[in-house]
Amino acid sequence: MMKFALACVLSAIYYPLLGLCLVLFQPIQWLALKLGGYRAHKLSVDYLNLSLLACLRVLGTRIRFDNPYPLPSDAPLIVVANHQSMYDIPPLSWFFRAHHPKFVAKQELGRYIPSVSFNLRHGGSVLIDRQDPRQSLRAITSFGKSLENSRHCAVIFPEGTRGRSGKAQSFTENGLKMLTRNAPSAYVVPVTINNAWQLQQYGIFPLGIGVHLSLQVHQPIPASSVSFRELFERVEATISGSIR
Per-residue pLDDT at 163: 56
Give 120's contacts (C-beta < 8 A, 6+ positions apart).
103, 105, 109, 110, 127
pTM for the full predicted model: 0.94
Per-residue pLDDT at 166: 65
Q: With a cut of 50, list the residues of the chain below it in pLDDT.
A: none
What's the residue count for the chain? Answer: 244
Per-residue pLDDT at 11: 97
The domains of the chain are located at 60-241
What is the CATH code of the structural domain delimited by 60-241? 3.40.1130.10
Tell me: the pLDDT tens digits for 67-83?
Answer: 989 999 899 999 999 99
Per-residue pLDDT at 133: 84
Per-residue pLDDT at 161: 59
Tell me: the pLDDT tens digits for 105-120?
Answer: 999 999 999 999 999 9
Per-residue pLDDT at 132: 86
- C-alpha distances (whole Å) from 41 to each of 22, 27, 128 are 15, 11, 22
Q: Cβ(104)–Cβ(175) under 8 Å? A: yes
Per-residue pLDDT at 162: 55
Q: Cβ(67)–Cβ(94) under 8 Å? A: no
**Could you tell me whether strands 187-194 and 62-66 are parallel, antiparallel, or unpaired per DSSP bridges?**
unpaired
Question: Using alpha carbons only, what angle is made at residue 238 by residues 184 and 173, rounded to the nearest 5 degrees?
Answer: 50
Per-residue pLDDT at 211: 97
Sequence-distant contacts of 35-39: CB under 8 A, at least 24 apart: 38/124
